Amino acid sequence: MVIFASLLTVITQGFMEKNKPTVMVDIAIFTVFEDKLKILLIKRGSEPFKDSWALPGGALNTVTDNSLEEAAMRELVEETGVENQYLEQLCTYGGPDRDPRDWTLSVTYFALVAADEVTLRAGTDTMEAKWHTLTQDKVEVSLAFDHERIVCEAISRLRAKLDYTDIAVHLLPKEFTLSELQRVYEIIMQEKLNKSSFRMRVARADIVAPINGKMRTGSNRPAQLYQFVKHEGDRMFFPRSIAWAQERKK
């Protein structure tokens, strides 16, 4: 009986090994321009979900990919043409019904790119890549698979991290003013922030440095240009969180 049971186990495991899930790597790539948070989507050229929009991604290939991060970075560079961008693992989703073809597992990432450095991959015969505006955390088009949920999760993470880290600098060009940085925070947080508080916090966090003598000119007082200063762990911890403070207002 014991032998029979263990045999069953082996058989089951045998089937299981054969029935591995298909593993995908999908990325939510964000940028900010036109005063809006944007996400990069790909129009699907084939079934399932033909003509729907989806997150850039692809199947993991164990022969060519040496890590998940590498697979994600490859996809990111392929789509945006930009290397060394901010990339962070998000969540992993799995289930039998995510894709009608198979039990699939998606390891999702989220990436931040500066709009001015991106050159979208030329639209091929079947695939079209396009920035979509996020309004109330949603795009206007319907998304393939469970990608809508992934987008929500990605925005939620982005907003959470914005509150206690410096990652917003990755959305800006190499040189930027503090007002521009604050504007990015406001666009993503969907809240107006206090100028002096914001500046004090940014100064304390020590993540930007003025570029001596360089100013952004216009028909008003010129603004000091800053650049991002790399930090080990590149985190800036705010002593109080912006989100909490705003929570208190209600």
**Interface contacts to its own copies, rule CB under 8 A:** 3-4, 7, 10-23, 59-63, 66-68, 89, 91-96, 103, 105, 107, 164, 237-241, 243-245, 247-248
CB atoms within 10 A of CB 85: 18
- Which of its own copies, DNA, none binds 89 (CB below 5-8 Å, type-dependent)? its own copies
Q: Closest CB to its own copies among 101 and 221?
A: 101
- Which of its own copies, DNA, none binds 59 (CB below 5-8 Å, type-dependent)? its own copies
Minimum Å gap between C-beta 221 and DNA is 3
Examine the residue annotation and report whether 175 is marked as an active-site residue of this protein.
Answer: no
Q: Closest CB to DNA among 136 and 196?
A: 196
CB atoms within 10 A of CB 108: 24
**Nearest CA to 114 among 15, 198, 181, 43?**
181
- Which of its own copies, DNA, none binds 48 (CB below 5-8 Å, type-dependent)? none
- Which of DNA, its own copies, none binds 201 (CB below 5-8 Å, type-dependent)? DNA
Q: Closest CB to its own copies among 79 and 172?
A: 79
Q: Which residues bind DNA (CB under 7 A)?
A: 177-180, 193-197, 199-201, 204, 217-224, 238-240, 242, 245-246, 248-249
Residues 6+ apart with CB under 8 A from 249: none
- Which of its own copies, DNA, none binds 23 (CB below 5-8 Å, type-dependent)? its own copies
Q: Closest CB to DNA among 39 and 205?
A: 205
Under 8 Å between Cβ of 106 and 24: yes
- What is the C-alpha separation between 182 and 230, in angstroms, rounded? 19
Minimum Å gap between C-beta 15 and its own copies is 6
Under 8 Å between Cβ of 159 and 246: no
Under 8 Å between Cβ of 85 and 113: yes
Distance of CA 1 to the CA centre of its chain: 53
Under 8 Å between Cβ of 129 and 42: yes
Q: Closest CB to DNA among 178 and 207?
A: 178
Among candidate residues 88, 117, 128, 186, the one labeled active-site is 128
Minimum Å gap between C-beta 206 and its own copies is 13
CA 140, 39, 42 angle in degrees (round to 5)?
A: 80
- What is the C-alpha separation between 57 and 148, in angstroms, rounded? 14
- What is the C-alpha separation between 75 and 56, in angstroms, rounded? 7
The catalytic residues are 128
